[in-house]
Structure 1
Amino acid sequence: MLSLIFIGIRLEQHFGFVRIGIIYLLSGFGGSILSSLFIQNHISVGASGALFGLLGAMLSELITNWTIYTNKIAALLTLLVIVAINLAVGILPHVDNFAHIGGFLTGFLLGFVLLPHPQFGWMERRNLPEDGSVMKLDDLLNLAFLSKDQDIKNQLLEFLH
């Protein structure tokens, strides 16, 4: 849980509680889903899949904002070493690496969608590029809710902006 304090606080300060909370929760679900697909006769619990999701989101943010980082290689190596060490610890019995990998992949993908990208001017405009190169948040919410209820979607969009 000490990792959550170090990683979570840093991410929340930069990107906000709601965005990081969404990544954290959905990464936990993603880790649980992958774990249940590959380890069907055991139940695992814990926050490690969600924590790996935050690491995945950090990696996607680093890749997306590569041009604005001053010490690129050090940031990338630090993140990759942390992930590698934690996956190596997953060789121990009773550690669910499938949850770690599922959480990491979920956080990695969500990081591209939910975290701001200042080099594209997203911090100032608070919207996505008009060329359609990235799925818009509105499209993501349509997929997520699969609902025609515009009130819920509009309230969430307003809250995120």
Structure 2
Amino acid sequence: MFKKKPSTLVSTLRKSKDKSNSLLPSTVERSEVRRGGKVYEPPVVDSSTGIYIHNISESASTSSEDSTSNIPYSSFPLTILLILIEAILVTIPFITCTIAPFSINPMFGPYPTTLDAWGAKNAYKMIVDGEWERLITPIFLHAGLIHFVSNVVIQMDQCKQYESEWGSLLYGVIYVCSGVCGNLMSSVFKPGVLGVGASGAIMGVLGARVGEGLVKFNDSDGGIVDLSDTVCSIIVVMALSFVPFVDWPAHLGGAVSGVSLGIVFFSWLSWKGGKYKRRHKCKCFSIFVGIATFLGITTCISMLFLVNWSQYEELDDVCGHFEAYYAQFGEEFVCECDGNRAADYWNKYNNNDD
């Protein structure tokens, strides 16, 4: 065996270091490698230390932009359909009836009598007159143009992404069920107030996203990253909770039911598919939340039948109700935009065609 002299060994090491420095510059830089026809960017390398540097903020922003943009329209057909229905139901009252004054409806929309004629949440008519469809119809109505635009912005910014990830069926179930639960809670806590809006259903979708993030908390980083945008959207929707004809119980009920549905559905899916860890805990958690949600809905329905509805009898005549209400403030309410006005318009339109 031949042994190299120390000086020779040192010179050899220096030469190898010089070669590595020629391959790795002294400054931090990023190289691009093409793999499979796509550009792959490896992590940043600091050649002085040989340590890989991962730019977390840059990758997070890139993934966020990719997740919300370039989503094909075919992946969220239900969101588009719902927006079209809402747009039609916002436009027709403008045609059949005049816009209410700002003092009556600051959302740039119709009179409350028109909203009631089109199916606004009216708890008295639901219980006494049996118009239970009013638990669903308010989901597609809006107090005015401002209310409609604010909801559409959230639907096109957040909800379309969730539908593309979850599928239209699951998205539709969460959307409708959350909206119904929101109107149910509104009927319990504000039985003497009319209410409209898709906000309760949208809050349910956002809440389901939170539920999904809770289920995947230790198993998927992606579910946690999206919660920041979701929480911001929830804050925006809650800011609209205190304008006329848009009530906070519907928003709160939709959000709570959405979180519950999200936990139940995604816990069940994770347990069934075995995709995430802690399957046994997910199963038990989903059963517990499901039972709690069922008991909550049952309690709300029971409370509806315990209310003394005779004190809200004026809601059977919405026109007279609002005339008396605005008379307290010395303001005249002209009841000219109700269901009869819309019916007269369409009868006149059909007669002209004949």
Instruction: Tell me the TM-score normalized by structure 2.
Output: 0.34
Q: Do the aligned residues in 2 keep the contact of 1:59 with 1:76 (CA within 8 Å)?
A: yes
Q: Where does residue 176 of structure 2 map in the other structure?
A: 25
Q: Where does residue 107 of structure 1 map in the other structure?
A: 258
Q: Do the aligned residues in 1 keep the contact of 2:271 with 2:282 (CA within 8 Å)?
A: no
Indicate how the Cα distance of structure 1 residues 124 and 6 shifts in structure 2: closer, same or farther if over 3 A, else same: same
Q: Report the Cα offset of residue 52 of structure 1.
A: 0.5
Q: Where does residue 40 of structure 1 map in the other structure?
A: 191
Which one is further off, 51-60 or 107-116? Answer: 107-116
Q: Report the Cα offset of residue 45 of structure 1.
A: 1.8
Q: Where does residue 86 of structure 1 map in the other structure?
A: 237
Tell me if 1:59 matches 2:224: no
Indicate how the Cα distance of structure 1 residues 39 and 69 shifts in structure 2: closer, same or farther if over 3 A, else same: same
Indicate how the Cα distance of structure 1 residues 120 and 40 shifts in structure 2: closer, same or farther if over 3 A, else same: closer
Q: Do the aligned residues in 1 keep the contact of 2:179 with 2:198 (CA within 8 Å)?
A: yes
Show CA shifts across 1:111-137 (max 9, x none). 112236786572669xx759852339x
Structure 2 residue ranges without an equivalent (≥5): 1-151, 295-354
Matches of 2:237 and 2:282, distance apart in 1: 38
The alignment partner of 1:5 has SS state of helix
Greater fraction helix: 1
Indicate how the Cα distance of structure 1 residues 62 and 34 shifts in structure 2: closer, same or farther if over 3 A, else same: same
Show CA shifts across 1:75-107 (max 9, x none). 333322321232123233332111100111111
- 1:68 pairs, out of 220, 227, 236, with 220
What letter corresponds to residue 156 of structure 2 in structure 1?
A: I
Indicate how the Cα distance of structure 1 residues 98 and 56 shifts in structure 2: closer, same or farther if over 3 A, else same: same
Identity %: 26
- Bigger Rg over Cα: 2
- 1:135 pairs, out of 261, 268, 287, with 287
Q: Report the Cα offset of residue 6 of structure 1.
A: 2.8
Matches of 1:71 and 1:42, distance apart in 2: 37
What letter corresponds to residue 26 of structure 1 in structure 2?
A: C
The alignment partner of 1:135 has SS state of helix
Matches of 1:49 and 1:13, distance apart in 2: 20
Show CA shifts across 1:50-97 (max 9, x none). 00000100110111112311583x533332232123212323333211
Q: Do the aligned residues in 2 keep the contact of 1:27 with 1:106 (CA within 8 Å)?
A: yes
What letter corresponds to residue 42 of structure 1 in structure 2?
A: V
Q: Where does residue 152 of structure 1 map in the other structure?
A: none
Indicate how the Cα distance of structure 1 residues 45 and 135 shifts in structure 2: closer, same or farther if over 3 A, else same: same
Q: Do the aligned residues in 1 keep the contact of 2:215 with 2:282 (CA within 8 Å)?
A: no
